[in-house]
Amino acid sequence: MLSHRAGLPYIDQSLTLEDVCNWSRIISLLVDEKPHWKPGSTHGYHGHTIGYIAGELIHRVDPQHRSYGQFVRDELDAEYYVGIPNKEIDARVAPLFEKKVQKVSVTI
């Protein structure tokens, strides 16, 4: 799974912002998703799903059923955050800005 070989790099349906912000919904969809290749047979970056998969794995095997973020903070790094829990942490986060890109049409 952590080597991006699970065969679940995406969920094969349209998702809303509400869907992707609903942990239980995404986990349910991933559980029902048929792998896009035989797990372990090849590599495909799981950028859209690895957080959910790793987080759910930790939640299920951890005797305290901690979230991914809480598990990492407790066990590995007290300064690691998933999300922004308070204004003190928010002040340490770099802002992101969307750059408007001019579209160019090319006729050949």
Domain parsing of the chain, residue ranges: 17-83
With a cut of 90, say whether residue 13 has pLDDT above it: yes
CA–CA gap between residue 75 and residue 18 (Å, rounded): 30
What pLDDT band is residue 41 in, cutting at 50, 70 and 90?
very high
CA–CA gap between residue 53 and residue 49 (Å, rounded): 6
**What's the pTM?**
0.70
What pLDDT band is residue 10 in, cutting at 50, 70 and 90?
very high
Alpha carbons within 13 angstroms on the beta-carbon side of residue 30 total 25
Q: What is the dihedral of CA 61, 63, 65, 71, to 10 degrees?
A: -80
| pLDDT value of residue 68 | 87
